[in-house]
């Protein structure tokens, strides 16, 4: 990664600068010894020129040594910061250690956009402070000074109240109060709220098994089976390239030949923990909703059983029609006969289905509503088994078949219309 390459490059430069600094200091010490050794033999006439020439040499050597030392201090500081970032990246392998890195990663986009908003708001207050107090207070006499003073007030809540309000109390008070309310209390707290929200989401995904000791134990298991242990990168690559929609343990062993049973069990146990944890913690009301749904289903089933028990059916066919037609009560009218081709009107409150064939299991074409009128060119009986016999009507222009009535029970879907 870029961080790792930066650490290697800066580390190499640090080693080189350290060697240069030590070498220049050794040269300076050697020059100083030579100077002290030769100086007593120099005549008084040449002494001034001698001292100037040697001091010039010493200054040059010491200058480069001090420059290397200054650069070395900066690079060592940067090196330690990069080591910190590398630790954060490496800690992502352990969920609890990765809390900070994952939280910042999730909140980065929101914080970045909020930072842009913060810059606009803060810049407005800085310019206003420079304009209002620049001619009266030295700290606000320049934009840089106003920026530093305003930032100090926002970060540390430190305000020179007596100094700022000395000449124009109301103007200074309004500027200070507005900046505290808008910048310190609102914007900064929104940033903290974003961070806390992301922290809560990341924390909810951590199980009780995600401890440091469990991770160490898994690494020891990987070391014991190093020759047969697949790396995380190899596992991800294999899963992404597989064509299996559902991966079982056996399928996992087929994808990764020679994988140990210990690693397979570890992966699936971890996946199960993650799934359960994400479901329960990610949806706190899920368990209550599931129980309520089950109880409502049981109540509906009991009501249906009671209704069926209270209903007196003459035949199996009557019971089946009653259940298919959304529990509409059956009131058998006078005996209906096949009236043949005619104009029919749908009388069933729930309408009726139009099928491609005189078969209730054939393709559904459309559904007619109560009151729709259709032209029937011929009628045809349909026997579906178990005594279920319905009269079907063929609509004109081969538009399909609709049920008209059941002669045995007298259940009517459509009647002739005059």
Q: Is residue 319 part of a domain?
A: no
Total count of domains within the chain = 4
332 plus 399 within the same structural domain? yes
Looking at 93, 116, 135, which one is the last position of a domain? 93
Q: Is residue 294 part of a domain?
A: no
Q: Return the pLDDT at 70.
A: 87
CATH code of residue 194: 1.10.287
Q: Give the 3-state secondary structure of 270-281.
A: HHHHHHHHHHHH
Domain that holds residue 160: 99-204
73 plus 105 within the same structural domain? no
130 plus 224 within the same structural domain? no
Q: Return the pLDDT at 335.
A: 40
103 plus 197 within the same structural domain? yes
CA proximity to 256, closest of 268, 269, 271? 268
What is the rounded CA–CA span in Å between residue 270 and residue 212?
15
Q: Is residue 309 part of a domain?
A: no
Burial per residue of 178-198, b for 16 or more beta-carbon CB atoms within 10 angstroms, e otherwise = ebeeebeeebeeebeebbeeb
105 plus 200 within the same structural domain? yes
Note the pLDDT tens digit of each residue in 58-74: 888 888 888 888 888 89
Looking at 42, 70, 93, which one is the last position of a domain? 93
408 plus 340 within the same structural domain? yes
182 plus 220 within the same structural domain? no
Ranges in the chain, pLDDT < 50: 326-336, 385-388
CATH code of residue 364: 2.30.30
178 plus 109 within the same structural domain? yes
Q: Return the pLDDT at 181.
A: 85
Q: Is residue 287 part of a domain?
A: no
Backbone torsions φ then ψ of 336, nearest 5 degrees: -105, 145
**How many other C-beta atoms lie within 10 A of the C-beta of residue 402?**
26
Q: Is residue 352 part of a domain?
A: yes
Please compute, for residue 312, the number of CA atoms within 13 A of its CA located in the half-sphere on the CB side: 1
Phi-psi region of 335 (alpha: psi -120 to 50; beta: other; left: phi over 0): beta
Q: Is residue 147 part of a domain?
A: yes
194 plus 152 within the same structural domain? yes
What is the rounded CA–CA span in Å between residue 151 and residue 259?
57
Q: Is residue 289 part of a domain?
A: no
Q: Return the pLDDT at 247.
A: 77
Note the pLDDT tens digit of each residue in 15-53: 998 888 888 888 888 888 888 888 888 888 888 888 888
Q: Is residue 312 part of a domain?
A: no
This model's pTM is above 0.85: no
Q: Return the pLDDT at 328.
A: 43
Q: Return the pLDDT at 387.
A: 47
Tokens describing residue 184: 């310190």
Note the pLDDT tens digit of each residue in 367-396: 888 888 888 888 877 755 444 467 888 888
Q: Return the pLDDT at 105.
A: 85
Looking at 204, 236, 262, which one is the last position of a domain? 204
145 plus 171 within the same structural domain? yes
278 plus 352 within the same structural domain? no
34 plus 57 within the same structural domain? yes
């Amino acid at each position: 990664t870029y961080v790792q390459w930066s650490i290697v490059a800066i580390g190499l430069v640090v080693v080189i600068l350290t060697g240069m600094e030590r070498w220049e200091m050794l040269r300076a010490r050697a020059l100083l010894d030579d100077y002290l050794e030769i100086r007593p033999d120099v005549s008084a006439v040449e002494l001034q020129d001698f001292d100037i020439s040697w001091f010039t040499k010493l200054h040059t050597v010491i200058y480069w040594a001090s420059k290397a030392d200054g650069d070395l201090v900066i690079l060592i500081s940067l090196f330690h910061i990069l080591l910190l970032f590398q630790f954060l990246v490496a800690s992502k392998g352990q969920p609890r250690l990765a809390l900070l890195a994952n939280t910042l990663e999730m909140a980065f986009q929101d914080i970045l956009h909020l930072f842009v908003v913060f810059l606009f708001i803060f810049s407005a207050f800085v310019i206003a402070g420079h304009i209002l107090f620049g001619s009266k207070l030295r700290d606000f006499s320049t934009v840089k000074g106003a920026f530093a003073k305003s930032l100090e007030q926002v970060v540390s809540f430190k305000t020179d109240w007596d100094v700022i309000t000395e000449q124009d109390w109301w103007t200074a008070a309004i500027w200070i109060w507005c900046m505290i309310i808008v910048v310190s209390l609102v914007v900064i707290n929104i940033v903290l709220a974003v961070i806390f929200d992301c922290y809560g989401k990341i924390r909810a995904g951590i199980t009780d098994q995600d401890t440091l000791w469990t991770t160490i134990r898994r690494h020891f298991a990987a070391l014991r089976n190093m020759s047969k242990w697949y790396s995380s990168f190899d596992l991800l690559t294999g899963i992404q390239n597989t064509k299996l929609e559902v991966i079982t343990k056996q399928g996992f062993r087929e994808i990764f030949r020679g994988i140990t049973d210990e690693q397979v069990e570890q992966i699936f146990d971890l996946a199960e923990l993650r799934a359960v944890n994400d479901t329960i913690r990610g949806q706190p009301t899920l368990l209550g909703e599931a129980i309520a749904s089950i109880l409502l289903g049981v109540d509906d089933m009991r009501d249906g059983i009671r209704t069926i028990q209270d209903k007196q059916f003459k035949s199996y066919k009557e019971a089946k029609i009653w259940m298919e037609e959304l529990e509409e009560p059956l009131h058998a009218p006078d005996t209906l006969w096949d009236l043949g081709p005619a104009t029919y009107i749908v009388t069933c409150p729930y309408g009726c289905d139009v099928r491609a064939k005189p078969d209730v299991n054939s393709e559904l074409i459309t559904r007619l509503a109560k009151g729709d009128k259709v032209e029937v060119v011929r009628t045809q009986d349909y026997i579906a088994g178990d005594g279920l016999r319905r009269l079907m009507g063929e609509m004109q222009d081969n538009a399909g078949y609709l049920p008209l009535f059941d002669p045995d029970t007298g259940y009517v879907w459509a009647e002739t219309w005059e």
